[in-house]
Amino acid sequence: MDTDYFQHKEICFASLIYSKERLQYLENEFEVRDDDVFLVSYPKSGTTWMIEILSLIRRSGDFTWCREVPNFMRIPWLDVSGIGEKLVDGCESPRFLASHLPIQCFPKSFFSSKAKIIYIARNPKDVLVSLYHFAHMSYVVKKPNGFDEFMEDFLQGRVPFGSWFEHLKGWMQMKDNKNFLFVTYEDLIQDHRGTIKKICTFLEKELEEQVIDLIVEHSTFSSMKNNSMSNNSLVPDYIIDPKNNHFMRKGIVGDWKNHFTQKQIDYMAVIYKEKMKDLDVKFSWDECV
Protein backbone atom coordinates (compact mmCIF):
# COMPACT_ATOMS: atom_id res chain seq x y z
CA MET A 1 0.00 0.00 0.00
CA ASP A 2 1.33 3.46 -0.93
CA THR A 3 1.40 6.22 1.65
CA ASP A 4 0.03 9.58 0.56
CA TYR A 5 0.53 12.93 2.22
CA PHE A 6 -1.46 16.13 1.89
CA GLN A 7 -0.29 19.58 2.91
CA HIS A 8 -2.11 21.70 5.47
CA LYS A 9 -0.54 25.02 6.49
CA GLU A 10 2.58 23.78 4.68
CA ILE A 11 2.82 20.70 6.90
CA CYS A 12 2.60 17.05 5.76
CA PHE A 13 -0.21 14.84 7.03
CA ALA A 14 -0.86 11.20 6.09
CA SER A 15 -4.08 11.01 4.05
CA LEU A 16 -4.86 7.60 5.49
CA ILE A 17 -6.03 8.82 8.90
CA TYR A 18 -5.99 12.64 8.74
CA SER A 19 -8.14 15.03 6.75
CA LYS A 20 -8.15 18.73 5.97
CA GLU A 21 -11.78 18.97 7.14
CA ARG A 22 -10.94 17.54 10.57
CA LEU A 23 -7.89 19.79 10.91
CA GLN A 24 -9.90 22.88 9.98
CA TYR A 25 -12.68 21.88 12.37
CA LEU A 26 -10.22 21.26 15.21
CA GLU A 27 -8.48 24.57 14.77
CA ASN A 28 -11.56 26.74 14.40
CA GLU A 29 -14.54 24.99 15.97
CA PHE A 30 -13.44 22.35 18.45
CA GLU A 31 -14.45 23.41 21.96
CA VAL A 32 -11.73 22.87 24.52
CA ARG A 33 -13.02 22.41 28.08
CA ASP A 34 -11.29 23.95 31.08
CA ASP A 35 -10.65 20.53 32.62
CA ASP A 36 -9.16 18.99 29.43
CA VAL A 37 -5.62 17.63 29.60
CA PHE A 38 -3.73 17.36 26.30
CA LEU A 39 -0.68 15.22 25.72
CA VAL A 40 1.17 16.85 22.82
CA SER A 41 4.28 15.56 21.06
CA TYR A 42 6.18 15.25 17.83
CA PRO A 43 5.93 11.58 16.71
CA LYS A 44 8.31 9.05 18.29
CA SER A 45 9.03 11.17 21.35
CA GLY A 46 7.52 8.82 23.96
CA THR A 47 3.81 9.56 23.45
CA THR A 48 2.69 5.96 23.98
CA TRP A 49 4.73 5.81 27.18
CA MET A 50 3.14 8.99 28.42
CA ILE A 51 -0.35 7.71 27.50
CA GLU A 52 0.31 4.77 29.81
CA ILE A 53 1.53 6.98 32.64
CA LEU A 54 -1.41 9.37 32.29
CA SER A 55 -3.88 6.45 32.17
CA LEU A 56 -2.40 5.10 35.41
CA ILE A 57 -2.40 8.53 37.07
CA ARG A 58 -5.98 9.13 35.99
CA ARG A 59 -7.11 5.83 37.56
CA SER A 60 -4.92 6.41 40.65
CA GLY A 61 -2.68 3.42 39.89
CA ASP A 62 -5.52 0.95 39.14
CA PHE A 63 -3.98 -0.87 36.21
CA THR A 64 -7.06 -2.92 35.23
CA TRP A 65 -8.03 -0.13 32.79
CA CYS A 66 -4.63 -0.50 31.09
CA ARG A 67 -5.02 -4.29 30.99
CA GLU A 68 -8.53 -4.22 29.52
CA VAL A 69 -8.82 -1.19 27.25
CA PRO A 70 -6.51 -0.31 24.32
CA ASN A 71 -4.48 2.86 24.86
CA PHE A 72 -6.11 4.67 21.91
CA MET A 73 -9.49 4.25 23.62
CA ARG A 74 -8.24 5.39 27.02
CA ILE A 75 -6.63 8.57 25.71
CA PRO A 76 -8.02 9.17 22.20
CA TRP A 77 -6.14 10.87 19.40
CA LEU A 78 -7.63 14.31 18.81
CA ASP A 79 -6.22 14.70 15.30
CA VAL A 80 -7.30 11.39 13.75
CA SER A 81 -10.35 11.39 11.46
CA GLY A 82 -13.12 8.76 11.52
CA ILE A 83 -12.66 6.48 14.54
CA GLY A 84 -10.59 9.16 16.30
CA GLU A 85 -13.47 11.65 16.08
CA LYS A 86 -15.93 9.18 17.58
CA LEU A 87 -13.60 8.34 20.45
CA VAL A 88 -12.99 12.02 21.22
CA ASP A 89 -16.73 12.77 21.07
CA GLY A 90 -17.46 9.91 23.44
CA CYS A 91 -14.76 10.86 25.94
CA GLU A 92 -16.03 11.83 29.39
CA SER A 93 -14.69 14.84 31.27
CA PRO A 94 -12.09 15.39 32.45
CA ARG A 95 -10.89 14.43 28.97
CA PHE A 96 -7.31 13.29 28.40
CA LEU A 97 -6.52 13.64 24.69
CA ALA A 98 -3.38 13.01 22.64
CA SER A 99 -2.20 15.12 19.72
CA HIS A 100 0.77 15.54 17.40
CA LEU A 101 -0.44 18.91 16.13
CA PRO A 102 1.99 21.78 15.80
CA ILE A 103 0.92 24.85 17.75
CA GLN A 104 -0.36 26.73 14.69
CA CYS A 105 -2.88 23.94 14.00
CA PHE A 106 -4.03 23.46 17.61
CA PRO A 107 -7.63 24.33 18.60
CA LYS A 108 -7.83 28.11 19.01
CA SER A 109 -10.23 27.65 21.91
CA PHE A 110 -7.39 26.15 23.95
CA PHE A 111 -5.62 29.50 24.21
CA SER A 112 -8.49 31.13 26.09
CA SER A 113 -9.16 28.10 28.32
CA LYS A 114 -7.72 26.77 31.57
CA ALA A 115 -6.95 23.39 29.96
CA LYS A 116 -3.50 21.85 30.47
CA ILE A 117 -0.86 20.59 28.09
CA ILE A 118 1.93 18.12 28.76
CA TYR A 119 4.46 18.33 25.93
CA ILE A 120 6.97 15.50 25.65
CA ALA A 121 10.11 15.89 23.53
CA ARG A 122 13.12 13.68 22.75
CA ASN A 123 16.60 14.00 21.29
CA PRO A 124 15.92 14.55 17.55
CA LYS A 125 18.55 11.97 16.61
CA ASP A 126 16.68 9.26 18.53
CA VAL A 127 13.36 10.56 17.14
CA LEU A 128 14.76 10.22 13.62
CA VAL A 129 15.98 6.66 14.21
CA SER A 130 12.70 5.63 15.82
CA LEU A 131 10.70 7.22 12.98
CA TYR A 132 12.89 5.52 10.39
CA HIS A 133 12.04 2.11 11.87
CA PHE A 134 8.39 3.05 12.34
CA ALA A 135 8.20 4.00 8.65
CA HIS A 136 9.05 0.40 7.74
CA MET A 137 6.17 -1.01 9.79
CA SER A 138 3.43 1.58 9.27
CA TYR A 139 1.38 3.02 6.43
CA VAL A 140 1.33 6.59 7.77
CA VAL A 141 4.98 7.38 7.00
CA LYS A 142 6.38 6.91 3.48
CA LYS A 143 8.79 3.98 3.15
CA PRO A 144 12.34 5.32 3.44
CA ASN A 145 14.71 5.09 0.55
CA GLY A 146 17.72 4.58 2.78
CA PHE A 147 18.69 6.31 6.04
CA ASP A 148 20.59 9.17 4.39
CA GLU A 149 17.64 10.29 2.28
CA PHE A 150 15.22 9.84 5.18
CA MET A 151 17.46 11.98 7.38
CA GLU A 152 17.33 14.77 4.79
CA ASP A 153 13.52 14.54 4.63
CA PHE A 154 13.39 14.70 8.43
CA LEU A 155 15.70 17.69 8.67
CA GLN A 156 13.72 19.53 5.97
CA GLY A 157 10.36 18.67 7.58
CA ARG A 158 9.16 16.52 4.68
CA VAL A 159 7.68 13.97 7.10
CA PRO A 160 4.31 13.82 8.89
CA PHE A 161 3.76 16.76 11.28
CA GLY A 162 6.52 18.70 9.59
CA SER A 163 9.79 19.86 11.01
CA TRP A 164 10.86 18.61 14.45
CA PHE A 165 12.55 21.97 14.98
CA GLU A 166 9.46 24.02 14.17
CA HIS A 167 7.21 21.75 16.25
CA LEU A 168 9.39 22.15 19.31
CA LYS A 169 10.05 25.87 18.82
CA GLY A 170 6.36 26.52 18.28
CA TRP A 171 5.32 24.80 21.50
CA MET A 172 8.18 26.28 23.50
CA GLN A 173 6.41 29.63 23.20
CA MET A 174 4.18 28.20 25.96
CA LYS A 175 7.04 27.23 28.26
CA ASP A 176 6.33 29.88 30.92
CA ASN A 177 2.59 29.27 30.98
CA LYS A 178 1.46 27.63 34.23
CA ASN A 179 -0.83 25.28 32.31
CA PHE A 180 2.04 23.92 30.22
CA LEU A 181 4.42 21.19 31.38
CA PHE A 182 7.52 20.33 29.35
CA VAL A 183 9.02 16.89 29.91
CA THR A 184 11.48 14.83 27.93
CA TYR A 185 11.87 11.17 27.09
CA GLU A 186 15.33 11.45 28.60
CA ASP A 187 13.83 12.72 31.91
CA LEU A 188 11.64 9.64 32.02
CA ILE A 189 14.55 7.30 31.32
CA GLN A 190 16.77 9.00 33.88
CA ASP A 191 14.20 9.52 36.61
CA HIS A 192 11.01 7.59 35.83
CA ARG A 193 9.55 7.98 39.32
CA GLY A 194 10.52 11.63 39.80
CA THR A 195 9.04 12.57 36.42
CA ILE A 196 5.77 10.80 37.25
CA LYS A 197 5.62 12.75 40.52
CA LYS A 198 6.24 15.99 38.65
CA ILE A 199 3.34 15.17 36.32
CA CYS A 200 1.08 14.39 39.30
CA THR A 201 1.93 17.77 40.85
CA PHE A 202 1.15 19.52 37.56
CA LEU A 203 -2.21 17.71 37.38
CA GLU A 204 -2.89 18.48 41.07
CA LYS A 205 -3.28 14.76 41.68
CA GLU A 206 -2.03 13.69 45.09
CA LEU A 207 -1.10 10.04 45.10
CA GLU A 208 0.48 7.92 47.82
CA GLU A 209 4.01 6.61 47.40
CA GLN A 210 2.73 3.01 46.94
CA VAL A 211 0.50 4.21 44.11
CA ILE A 212 3.46 5.93 42.45
CA ASP A 213 5.33 2.61 42.77
CA LEU A 214 2.49 0.86 40.91
CA ILE A 215 2.52 3.50 38.17
CA VAL A 216 6.28 3.05 37.72
CA GLU A 217 5.95 -0.73 37.63
CA HIS A 218 3.17 -0.76 35.07
CA SER A 219 4.76 1.77 32.74
CA THR A 220 8.16 0.14 32.32
CA PHE A 221 9.20 -0.85 28.80
CA SER A 222 8.87 -4.59 29.51
CA SER A 223 5.51 -4.26 31.20
CA MET A 224 4.11 -2.25 28.28
CA LYS A 225 5.72 -4.50 25.66
CA ASN A 226 3.96 -7.50 27.18
CA ASN A 227 0.58 -5.80 27.35
CA SER A 228 -1.39 -5.94 24.07
CA MET A 229 -3.52 -3.00 25.29
CA SER A 230 -0.41 -0.82 25.49
CA ASN A 231 2.05 -2.04 22.87
CA ASN A 232 -0.01 -0.83 19.87
CA SER A 233 -0.48 -4.36 18.52
CA LEU A 234 -4.24 -3.66 18.42
CA VAL A 235 -3.85 -0.66 16.11
CA PRO A 236 -5.76 -1.63 12.91
CA ASP A 237 -3.54 -3.44 10.41
CA TYR A 238 -4.18 -0.86 7.70
CA ILE A 239 -2.20 1.57 9.90
CA ILE A 240 0.51 -0.67 11.38
CA ASP A 241 1.53 -3.90 9.66
CA PRO A 242 0.82 -6.63 12.25
CA LYS A 243 3.47 -8.92 10.70
CA ASN A 244 6.11 -6.33 11.25
CA ASN A 245 4.97 -4.67 14.47
CA HIS A 246 7.90 -3.84 16.67
CA PHE A 247 6.41 -0.62 17.97
CA MET A 248 7.99 -1.21 21.38
CA ARG A 249 11.36 -1.41 19.64
CA LYS A 250 14.28 -0.60 21.96
CA GLY A 251 13.11 2.09 24.35
CA ILE A 252 16.57 3.51 25.05
CA VAL A 253 18.44 6.80 24.88
CA GLY A 254 21.21 7.04 22.30
CA ASP A 255 20.29 4.37 19.75
CA TRP A 256 21.31 6.99 17.16
CA LYS A 257 24.92 5.95 17.85
CA ASN A 258 24.14 2.64 16.12
CA HIS A 259 22.80 4.38 13.01
CA PHE A 260 24.70 7.61 12.30
CA THR A 261 27.96 7.79 10.36
CA GLN A 262 30.47 10.48 11.41
CA LYS A 263 29.47 12.47 8.32
CA GLN A 264 25.81 12.36 9.36
CA ILE A 265 26.71 13.37 12.94
CA ASP A 266 28.61 16.40 11.67
CA TYR A 267 25.87 17.35 9.22
CA MET A 268 23.12 17.13 11.84
CA ALA A 269 25.21 19.23 14.26
CA VAL A 270 25.39 22.05 11.72
CA ILE A 271 21.67 21.95 10.94
CA TYR A 272 20.75 21.71 14.64
CA LYS A 273 22.86 24.72 15.54
CA GLU A 274 21.41 26.79 12.73
CA LYS A 275 17.76 25.86 13.34
CA MET A 276 17.93 26.22 17.12
CA LYS A 277 19.95 29.44 17.27
CA ASP A 278 16.93 31.65 17.95
CA LEU A 279 15.60 29.49 20.81
CA ASP A 280 16.82 30.53 24.24
CA VAL A 281 16.26 27.16 25.96
CA LYS A 282 18.77 24.47 26.89
CA PHE A 283 18.03 20.79 26.31
CA SER A 284 19.76 17.76 27.83
CA TRP A 285 20.68 16.53 24.33
CA ASP A 286 22.25 19.83 23.15
CA GLU A 287 25.78 18.58 23.77
CA CYS A 288 25.34 15.40 21.78
CA VAL A 289 23.56 16.77 18.71
Binding residues (CB under 6 A) for ligand A3P: these are: 41, 43-49, 126, 130, 133, 219-221, 224, 248-251, 255
What is the number of other CB atoms lying within 10 angstroms of the CB of residue 23?
19
C-alpha to C-alpha distances, 202 to 126, 149, 173, nearest whole angstrom: 27, 40, 18
Backbone φ/ψ region at 25: left (φ over 0), alpha (ψ -120 to 50), beta: alpha
CA–CA separation, 279 and 175 (whole Å): 12
Q: How far is the CB of 253 from ligand A3P (least distance, A)?
A: 9
Nearer to ligand A3P, 113 or 233 (CB): 233
Kindly give the residue spans of alpha helices, DSSP state H, lying in the chain.
20-28, 47-58, 64-68, 71-74, 83-89, 124-137, 147-155, 164-172, 185-190, 192-202, 209-218, 221-225, 262-276
Nearer to ligand A3P, 92 or 230 (CB): 230
Q: How far is the CB of 229 from ligand A3P (least distance, A)?
A: 13
CA–CA separation, 115 and 32 (whole Å): 7
CB 2 within 8 A of CB 143: no
CB 180 within 8 A of CB 106: no
* Catalytic annotation, residues: 100
Nearer to ligand A3P, 109 or 213 (CB): 213
Report which of 86, 110, 104, 108 is spatially closest to residue 38, judged by C-alpha positions. Answer: 110
CB 159 within 8 A of CB 153: yes
Nearer to ligand A3P, 29 or 252 (CB): 252
Q: How far is the CB of 251 from ligand A3P (least distance, A)?
A: 3
Radius of gyration of the chain, Cα coordinates, nearest whole angstrom: 18
Nearer to ligand A3P, 25 or 235 (CB): 235
Q: How far is the CB of 55 from ligand A3P (least distance, A)?
A: 12
Each residue of 246-283: b (16+ CB within 10 Å) or e? ebbbebebebbeeebeeebeebbeebbeebbeeeeeeb
Nearer to ligand A3P, 66 or 155 (CB): 66
Q: How far is the CB of 249 from ligand A3P (least distance, A)?
A: 3
